[in-house]
């Protein structure tokens, strides 16, 4: 009962009782066994610590099923063998052994309604025995001869992986075009023995389930000394069977390897077809691997071994089989006794599957009323004894699949639920009273009104489903109607009380309304009906019920009176345009009224934009009109996007503006040789709508460049160089392929221009060197552009001076004087003014016992002419030079200057004193004279 129907108490009570009754029937329904889990194949490692094998079987059913287990068709007896035990339907085998427990298992689940058999599950045991400890004899061959080393693996289950150890573990034999290890035989094949192959060989096998490994005794391989084997034609020693069977979906490996001298080459082909593209060649083409094999991969495959001495081939047929798979299954069925049952099951498979039928776990054959033809089962005039669990089994020699269903034969006296019932009809409308008892076999139905049996006529009819139908009902039809159902097991009656009420009318206003996006509107629904009946309302939008919890942001249900409700629509959007319906419902009838809401808003997106023609600067565009949303489109705005734009930009058009009645225009003033996308946006009196989808990307045609480089400048560089620089032209303005620059220059006062081509579009600098012009020579310079279409414009002419060069003269009058025992002040005069003037100075200093290259250097902050050197060692002679430098480089160094720092102590009044000797450039020439303490003349 919905919230809108709570007032209709009779209807809600009736529905509630019916729901409770149906739930009771469902919870207590009895049925036969249905498998939830069937046993799967198991490979059990014999060396497992668990020592228990578990086979799973679980079924649901009411009553709960019981279970029995079978091995190879014989039932297991848990009392006779303590190793077997059950937990629910699962079978546990303790201390399982291959001798007694290997085989096929299936379980049987049964209850009072029938029995079903599970599919077969194979129990295998994984183990790996040890190699025989017997010493293996050596193998001796000539150089160039082929050889086969036998593995002779120990007993094992299931598959094992083979590898070979050379001389000692873990040095493994590497497989290549000359050496091959067969994973079918385990043998090692060497097509042409070389001296490096001499040694001891050990076969190593690994169990794929347990991962256990064992090693064989070594097989020595020696080389005969009676000569070298000559060339001989290939001999195929390893090949796949002549007939290969493979299950659909697995990976198939076909082996082929040959002995021969020279080493043979292996090739593959498929007779009357192509090798599948998914196939892969492994191990130097000795293995053809086909993953996920399908039916179409079947066929004859050939491997061929060839060398210069000849060739040989082998052919084998690959056949793919598939397990049966259902295309049609049987389903649970309930029937009345005496009816005819027809079941059909179908399955695909290769080979084609055959069918057999089981009833309660036992074979079912044709007899009397039962016909079985392949997957079709027919039972004529079913009886209670036919009830039970049926299984259709589709099988071929590779496996079987089961389809299960339960057949119930019903037998019950008629029962009516609920009883009695109340039916309310609308005056002048048709009314139907149903009679649907639960009964088996089908009962005989009769209708009465009062004590008199109803005789059908033009206005009162008895339909085939036993429903009583009254056409054009009136007040005279009110009263009690009785349906009687009867079969051989009993009878029952249903009483239906019919009331006929006035028809309800519904008025919805307004019936048509226009609003603008963002506005609100109220739709009012009023019902006129029989006052003895309660009425419930429901609102619809485009035939779908409105969910007020989900759409509450825009829709509100307002109850104004008991028979009137309003629909408030707030902040209307374009998507709210459409048909709104009001449905009023009583227990007698249901009436529906509808109103239309038109929403004015910005236009919808135009249709697909097509670029019809493109030139170097224009694009002719066309589009289709979108929705105007009840307000005529006034203008269109054309927008473009390129790799060089920041998103979408409005473009100029022809004509301008583009009016709303147009569906094509020309975008103008585009850049040549640029890739553009275009879109169109429509506007009306209310606003601008969403843009169309972008057009396909198109490139405008090439043109001569029209933009010259900006910020042409230059200067600096080395002596006799003219350095010219500029800002590169963006790719957006290069206008075509083959873009480059033309650098033109001439010395002031000269007439002819020198032009140089710079072919790189990313270049920003050009250097011209000529030793004939002096530093700081002024040049007139301009930079132009070109591409494959021709030459573009030049920049404005600017004056650029050639480089002044590095300083040409050394500083003069360099002096160095001691300031303290660890400091020296150095002074100098700048060189003569002119080209190559210094922008700063660098002072180099080093002790006379060191090389100049290991000395230290210190630069002035600006164009200063003095510096104090600090952190020096006392009582040392330092050599000093000064160089000027600028942005071009360094000038020549001044002549060496030296200073002798003296540190000594004067003991005077027993107090140590520090004396500093000021040194002049002459000290270095006069030699060192160390003053003595106490000598007052120093």
Residue 633 lies in a domain: yes
Neighbouring CB atoms inside 10 A of 182's CB total 19
Q: For residues 496 and 511, state if they share a domain.
A: no
Per-residue confidence (pLDDT) for residue 906, from 0 to 100: 30
Cis peptide before 441 (omega within 30 of 0): yes
Check: CB of residue 68 under 8 Å from CB of residue 105: no
Q: Determine the average pLDDT of the residues in 124-134.
A: 93
Percent residues over pLDDT 70 in the chain: 92
Q: How far apart are the C-alpha atoms of 709 and 798, rounded to whole Å?
A: 12
Per-residue confidence (pLDDT) for residue 935, from 0 to 100: 47
User: Does residue 855 surpass a pLDDT of 90?
Assistant: no
Alpha carbon distance, N-terminus to C-terminus of the chain: 124
Q: Determine the average pLDDT of the residues in 724-749.
A: 94
Per-residue confidence (pLDDT) for residue 922, from 0 to 100: 38
Q: For residues 830 and 789, state if they share a domain.
A: no
**Radius of gyration (C-alpha) of the chain in whole angstroms:** 53
Burial 800-828 (b: 16+ CB within 10 A, else e): bbbbbbbbbbbbeebebebbebeebebeb
Residue 938 lies in a domain: no
DSSP 383: -
Q: How far apart are the C-alpha atoms of 800 and 718, rounded to whole Å?
A: 14
Lowest mean pLDDT among 41-45, 282-286, 913-917: 913-917
Check: CB of residue 603 under 8 Å from CB of residue 626: yes
Check: CB of residue 702 under 8 Å from CB of residue 672: yes
Per-residue confidence (pLDDT) for residue 21, from 0 to 100: 44
Q: For residues 892 and 821, state if they share a domain.
A: yes
Q: Determine the average pLDDT of the residues in 283-303.
A: 95
User: Which pair of structure tokens corresponds to residue 304?
Assistant: 């061929």
User: Which pair of structure tokens corresponds to residue 546?
Assistant: 């409105």
Q: How far apart are the C-alpha atoms of 930 and 903, rounded to whole Å?
A: 10
Check: CB of residue 443 under 8 Å from CB of residue 487: yes
Instruction: State pLDDT tens for residues 384-430.
Output: 899 999 999 999 999 999 999 999 988 888 999 888 889 988 888 89
Residue after which a domain boundary falls, among 189, 210, 230: 230
Instruction: State pLDDT tens for residues 780-795.
Output: 999 999 999 999 999 9
Residue 13 lies in a domain: no
Q: Determine the average pLDDT of the residues in 250-267.
A: 96
**62 phi and psi, to 5 degrees?**
-140, 105
Per-residue confidence (pLDDT) for residue 513, from 0 to 100: 93
Q: For residues 333 and 353, state if they share a domain.
A: yes
Per-residue confidence (pLDDT) for residue 253, from 0 to 100: 97
Q: How far apart are the C-alpha atoms of 77 and 21, rounded to whole Å?
A: 45
Q: How far apart are the C-alpha atoms of 407 and 387, rounded to whole Å?
A: 5
Nearest Cα residue to 468 out of 486, 479, 454: 454
Per-residue confidence (pLDDT) for residue 19, from 0 to 100: 52
Q: Virtual CA dihedral for 122, 128, 131, 132, nearest 10 degrees?
A: -60
User: Does residue 113 surpass a pLDDT of 70?
Assistant: yes
User: Does residue 586 surpass a pLDDT of 80?
Assistant: yes
Nearest Cα residue to 567 out of 594, 590, 588, 589: 594
User: Does residue 448 surpass a pLDDT of 50?
Assistant: yes
Per-residue confidence (pLDDT) for residue 154, from 0 to 100: 95
Neighbouring CB atoms inside 10 A of 360's CB total 18
Per-residue confidence (pLDDT) for residue 65, from 0 to 100: 95
Total-model pTM: 0.50
Neighbouring CB atoms inside 10 A of 436's CB total 14
Per-residue confidence (pLDDT) for residue 875, from 0 to 100: 84
Q: For residues 387 and 418, state if they share a domain.
A: no
The domain that holds 850 is classified in CATH as 2.60.40.10
Q: How far apart are the C-alpha atoms of 180 and 256, rounded to whole Å?
A: 10
Per-residue confidence (pLDDT) for residue 9, from 0 to 100: 43
Nearest Cα residue to 136 out of 215, 193, 190: 215
C-alpha dist (Å) from residue 809 to 829, 831, 884, 893: 11, 6, 8, 8
Q: Determine the average pLDDT of the residues in 640-657.
A: 95
User: Does residue 635 surpass a pLDDT of 90?
Assistant: yes
User: Does residue 534 surpass a pLDDT of 50?
Assistant: yes
User: Does residue 114 surpass a pLDDT of 70?
Assistant: yes
Per-residue confidence (pLDDT) for residue 267, from 0 to 100: 96
Nearest Cα residue to 762 out of 736, 792, 741: 741
In the numeric block, the tokens 């206003």 are attached to 509
User: Which pair of structure tokens corresponds to residue 888?
Assistant: 């071009």
Q: How far apart are the C-alpha atoms of 791 and 738, rounded to whole Å?
A: 11
Between 338 and 598, whose confidence is greater?
A: 598
Q: Determine the average pLDDT of the residues in 210-234.
A: 93
Q: For residues 440 and 392, state if they share a domain.
A: no
User: Does residue 176 surpass a pLDDT of 80?
Assistant: yes
Lowest mean pLDDT among 123-132, 434-443, 635-644: 434-443
Per-residue confidence (pLDDT) for residue 562, from 0 to 100: 83
Nearest Cα residue to 4 out of 429, 582, 441, 798: 582
Q: How far apart are the C-alpha atoms of 91 and 817, rounded to whole Å?
A: 108
Lowest mean pLDDT among 231-235, 236-240, 322-326, 499-503: 499-503
User: Which pair of structure tokens corresponds to residue 891?
Assistant: 């000038």
Instruction: State pLDDT tens for residues 899-931.
Output: 655 443 333 333 333 333 434 333 333 334 444
Instruction: State pLDDT tens for residues 832-852.
Output: 776 677 878 899 998 888 888
HEC sequence for 745-773: EEECCCCCCEEEEECCCCCCEEEEECCCC
Q: Determine the average pLDDT of the residues in 74-101.
A: 90
Check: CB of residue 779 under 8 Å from CB of residue 713: no
Between 281 and 903, whose confidence is greater?
A: 281
HEC sequence for 660-723: CCCCEEEECCCCCCCEEEEEEEEEECCCECCCCCCCCCEECCCCCCCCCCEEEEECCCCCCEEE
Q: Virtual CA dihedral for 785, 791, 796, 799, nearest 10 degrees?
A: 70
Per-residue confidence (pLDDT) for residue 28, from 0 to 100: 66
Q: How far apart are the C-alpha atoms of 53 and 123, rounded to whole Å?
A: 9
Q: How far apart are the C-alpha atoms of 857 and 900, rounded to whole Å?
A: 19
552 confidence band (pLDDT: 50, 70, 90)? low
Between 247 and 910, whose confidence is greater?
A: 247
Q: How far apart are the C-alpha atoms of 2 and 19, rounded to whole Å?
A: 15
Domain that holds residue 441: 412-455+467-472+483-501
Could you tell me how many helices (H) and strands (E) the chain has, helices first? 3, 83
Number of structural domains the chain divides into: 9
HEC sequence for 224-268: EEEEECCCEEEEEEEECCCEEEEECCCCEEEEEEEEEECCCEEEE
Per-residue confidence (pLDDT) for residue 550, from 0 to 100: 79
Q: Is 539 helix (H, G, I), strand (E, B) or coil?
A: strand
Mean of per-residue pLDDT scores for the chain = 88
Beta bridge partners of 69: 107
Q: For residues 539 and 580, state if they share a domain.
A: yes
Per-residue confidence (pLDDT) for residue 80, from 0 to 100: 84
Q: Among positive and negative, which fits the CA dihedral 234, 239, 243, 248?
A: negative
Per-residue confidence (pLDDT) for residue 899, from 0 to 100: 63
Q: How far apart are the C-alpha atoms of 436 and 434, rounded to whole Å?
A: 6
Residue 293 lies in a domain: yes
User: Which pair of structure tokens corresponds to residue 473?
Assistant: 């009902």
22 confidence band (pLDDT: 50, 70, 90)? very low
Per-residue confidence (pLDDT) for residue 936, from 0 to 100: 43
In the numeric block, the tokens 């660098």 are attached to 842
User: Does residue 11 surpass a pLDDT of 90?
Assistant: no
Per-residue confidence (pLDDT) for residue 182, from 0 to 100: 96
Q: Virtual CA dihedral for 353, 357, 360, 361, nearest 10 degrees?
A: -50
Q: How far apart are the C-alpha atoms of 126 and 206, rounded to whole Å?
A: 12
For residue 612, give every residue at least 6 positions away whose Cβ sits within 8 Å of its Cβ, in sequence order, or none: 620, 621, 622, 664
Per-residue confidence (pLDDT) for residue 909, from 0 to 100: 33
Cis peptide before 133 (omega within 30 of 0): no
Residue 910 lies in a domain: no
C-alpha dist (Å) from residue 829 to 811, 826, 833: 6, 11, 12
Residue 19 lies in a domain: no
User: Which pair of structure tokens corresponds to residue 86?
Assistant: 């059950």
Q: How far apart are the C-alpha atoms of 670 and 658, rounded to whole Å?
A: 17
Residue 918 lies in a domain: no
Residue 7 lies in a domain: no
Check: CB of residue 401 under 8 Å from CB of residue 347: yes
25 confidence band (pLDDT: 50, 70, 90)? very low
For residue 922, give every residue at least 6 positions away whose Cβ sits within 8 Å of its Cβ, in sequence order, or none: none
């Amino acid at each position: 009962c919905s919230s809108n129907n709570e007032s209709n108490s009779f209807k809600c009570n009736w529905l509630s009782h019916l729901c409770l009754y149906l739930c009771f029937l469902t919870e207590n329904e009895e049925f036969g066994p249905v498998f939830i889990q069937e046993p799967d194949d198991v490979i059990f490692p014999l060396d497992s610590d668990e020592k228990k094998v578990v086979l799973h079987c679980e079924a649901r059913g009411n009553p709960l099923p019981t279970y029995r287990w079978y091995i190879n068709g014989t039932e297991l007896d848990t009392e006779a063998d303590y190793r077997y035990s059950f937990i629910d339907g699962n079978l546990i085998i303790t201390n399982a052994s291959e001798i007694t427990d290997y085989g096929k298992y299936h379980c049987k689940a049964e209850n009072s309604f029938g029995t079903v058999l599970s599919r077969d599950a194979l129990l295998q045991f994984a183990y790996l025995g040890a190699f025989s400890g017997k010493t293996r004899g050596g193998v001796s061959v000539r150089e160039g001869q082929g050889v086969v080393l036998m593995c002779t693996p120990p007993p094992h289950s299931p598959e094992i992986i083979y590898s070979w150890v050379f001389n000692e573990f873990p040095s493994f034999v590497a497989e290549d075009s000359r050496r091959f290890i067969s994973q079918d035989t385990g043998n090692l094949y060497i097509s042409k023995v070389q001296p490096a192959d001499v040694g001891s060989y050990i076969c190593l096998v690994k169990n794929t389930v347990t991962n256990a490994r064992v090693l064989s005794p070594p097989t020595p391989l020696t080389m005969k000394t009676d000569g070298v084997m000559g060339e001989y034609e290939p001999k195929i020693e390893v090949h796949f069977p002549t007939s290969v069977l493979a299950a659909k979906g697995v990976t198939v490996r076909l082996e082929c390897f040959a002995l021969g001298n020279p080493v043979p080459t292996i090739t593959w082909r498929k007779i009357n077809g192509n090798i599948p593209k998914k196939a892969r060649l492994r191990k130097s083409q000795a293995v053809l691997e086909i993953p996920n094999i399908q039916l179409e991969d079947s066929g004859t495959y050939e491997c061929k071994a060839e060398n210069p001495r000849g060739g040989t081939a082998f052919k084998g047929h690959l056949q793919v089989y598939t397990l049966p798979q259902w295309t049609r299954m049987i389903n649970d069925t309930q029937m009345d006794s005496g009816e005819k049952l027809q079941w059909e099951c179908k399955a695909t498979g290769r080979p084609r599957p055959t069918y057999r039928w089981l009833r309660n776990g036992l074979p079912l054959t044709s007899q009397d009323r039962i016909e079985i033809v392949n997957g079709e089962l027919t039972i004529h005039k079913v009886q209670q004894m036919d009830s039970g669990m049926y299984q259709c089994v589709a099988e071929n020699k590779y496996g079987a699949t089961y389809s299960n269903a339960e057949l119930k034969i019903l037998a019950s006296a008629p029962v009516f639920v609920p009883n009695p019932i109340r039916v309310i009809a609308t005056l002048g409308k048709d009314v139907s009273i149903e009679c649907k008892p639960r009964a088996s076999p089908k009962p005989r139905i009769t209708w009465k009104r009062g004590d008199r049996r109803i005789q059908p006529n033009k206005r009162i009819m008895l339909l085939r489903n036993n429903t009583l139908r009254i056409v054009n009902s009136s007040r005279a039809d009110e009263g009690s109607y009785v349906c009687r159902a009867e079969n051989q097991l009993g009878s029952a009656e249903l009483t239906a009380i019919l009331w006929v009420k006035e028809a309800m009318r519904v008025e919805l206003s307004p019936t048509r309304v226009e609003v603008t996006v963002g506005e609100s509107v109220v739709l009012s629904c009023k019902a006129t009906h029989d006052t003895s009946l309660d009425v419930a309302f429901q609102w619809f939008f485009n035939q779908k019920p409105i969910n007020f919890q989900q759409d509450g942001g825009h829709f509100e249900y307002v109850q104004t009176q008991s028979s009137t409700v309003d629909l408030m629509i707030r902040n209307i959007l374009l998507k709210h345009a459409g048909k709104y319906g009001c449905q009023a419902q009583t227990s007698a009838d249901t009436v529906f009224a509808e109103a239309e809401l038109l929403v004015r808003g910005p236009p919808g997106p135009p249709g697909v934009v097509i670029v019809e023609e493109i030139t170097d600067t224009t694009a002719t565009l066309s589009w289709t009109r979108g929705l105007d949303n009840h307000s005529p489109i006034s203008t269109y705005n054309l927008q473009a996007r390129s790799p060089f734009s920041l998103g979408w930009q409005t473009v100029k058009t022809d004509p301008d503006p583009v009016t709303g009645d147009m569906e094509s225009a020309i975008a103008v003033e585009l850049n040549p040789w640029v890739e553009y996308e275009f879109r169109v946006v429509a506007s009306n009196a209310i606003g601008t709508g969403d843009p169309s989808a972008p057009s396909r990307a198109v490139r405008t045609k090439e043109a001569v460049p029209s933009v010259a480089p900006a910020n042409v400048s230059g200067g600096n560089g080395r002596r006799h160089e003219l350095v010219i620089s500029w800002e590169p032209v963006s790719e957006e303005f290069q206008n075509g392929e083959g873009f480059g620059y033309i650098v033109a220059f001439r010395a002031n006062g000269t007439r002819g221009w020198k032009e140089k081509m710079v072919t790189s579009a990313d270049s920003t600098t050009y250097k011209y060197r000529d030793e004939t012009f002096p530093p700081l020579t002024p040049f007139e310079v301009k930079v132009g552009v070109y591409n494959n279409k021709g030459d573009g414009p030049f920049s404005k002419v600017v004056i650029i001076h050639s480089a002044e060069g590095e300083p040409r003269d050394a500083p003069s009058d360099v002096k160095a004087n001691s300031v303290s025992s660890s400091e020296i002040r150095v002074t100098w005069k700048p060189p003569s003014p002119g080209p190559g003037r210094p922008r700063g100075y660098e002072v180099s200093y080093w002790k006379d016992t060191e090389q100049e290259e290991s000395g230290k250097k210190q630069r002035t902050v600006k164009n200063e002419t003095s510096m104090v050197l600090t952190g020096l060692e006392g009582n040392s002679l330092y050599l000093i030079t000064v160089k000027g430098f600028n942005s071009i480089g360094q000038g020549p160094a001044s002549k060496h200057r030296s200073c002798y720092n003296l540190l000594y102590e004067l003991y005077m009044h027993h107090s140590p004193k520090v004396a500093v000797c000021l040194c002049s450039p002459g000290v270095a020439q006069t030699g060192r004279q160390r003053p003595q303490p106490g000598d007052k003349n120093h």
